[in-house]
Amino acid sequence: MVTITSLAMDERSARVALAATLEPDDAVTGRLLAAVGAAETVRLAAGTGAFPKKVDAVEAGLWRNKVAPRMDARTVTQALSESDRLGLRILIPGDNDWPTALNDLVERAPTALWVRGAVSFLTAPLSDRVTITGARAAPSYGEHVTTELSSRLTHVERIIVSGGAYGIDTAAHRAALASGGQTLAVMVGGLDRLYPSGNRALLERRLTRPRTNPWATTGTGGDRPAAAGSRLQGRGCANSSFTPRSPHRRRRPRRRPRPAGFGVQDDGPTRSRC
């Protein structure tokens, strides 16, 4: 019988297992990763072993009670299968393409990232990336200013980073692409079902472009021909800390993720209750 601990024998596979089963942005998970590593954190989550003294015992016990029912090996194997099918890259801290600015989030840094498109955008100099985010229900003037700002930044060869949401985010992505520039989307759910659905055409058709090299690696198991979905490069990149088939994406997110660590922040013209 395949167990989740048998799927988490090293740092990479264990981080994938944690990302597939637990919600991101969890401080206790982050502290355990820093204290004992990913493989031991999986074992602790599954109900085995004593917690390190660096972590509060009461807090750790509550964490285990919450996460233990979620540690399902099938969830992990399904996420890996879907990642291969879509040709997604999986990155963990320490990988050459990992955006090191995310490490500034410390215990709330993503456990792993799923990436589609031009992965090189993630490691471009921070000064080359500008994050523009704002209200979903943006007024037309706000979208106009965002379009002008994004276009001008594109003309000085900056990568536009945003969250793929309606309103200001959409205006930023569209303006960058219309100006022949490059854009990076930090997504709120798994890359198998881009959210919000009304922007799926923009994200699928315009954030990703065919790549000329058919022997790109998927990042999940060495050099081999990647699935059709991985032959994507050019003007766009999308990434997420949620796995494909993630159960968390079925709930409407309470708020958009802040694309922190991906670029110099400019909140642009915003007016929102979100």
CATH-assigned architecture of domain 87-266? 3-Layer(aba) Sandwich (3.40)
Of 211, 240, 239, 236, nearest in space to 226 by CA: 211
Query: So where are the chain's domains?
Result: 11-71, 87-266
Residue 208, pLDDT score: 54
The predicted pLDDT at position 218 comes to 40
Instruction: Split the chain (274 residues) into runs of 10 and give each run's mean pLDDT.
Output: 91 96 93 96 93 93 95 93 94 95 92 93 91 90 94 94 92 91 90 85 64 37 37 69 70 48 52 41
Tokens of 228: 């059709």
- Per-residue confidence (pLDDT) for residue 231, from 0 to 100: 35
Q: What is residue 234's predicted lDDT score, i.e. its pLDDT?
A: 55
Tell whether pTM > 0.85: no
For 168-198, b/e burial (b = at least 16 CB within 10 A) is bbbbbbbbbbebebbbbbbbbbbbbebbbee
- Residue 160 pLDDT: 94
Structure tokens at 240: 């997420």
| Residues in Cβ contact with 181 at an 8 Å cutoff, skipping those fewer than 6 apart | 150, 151, 153, 154, 155, 157, 158, 159, 160, 235
Give the contacts of 205 (CB within 8 A, at least 6 positions apart). Answer: none
Residue 152: the pLDDT is 96
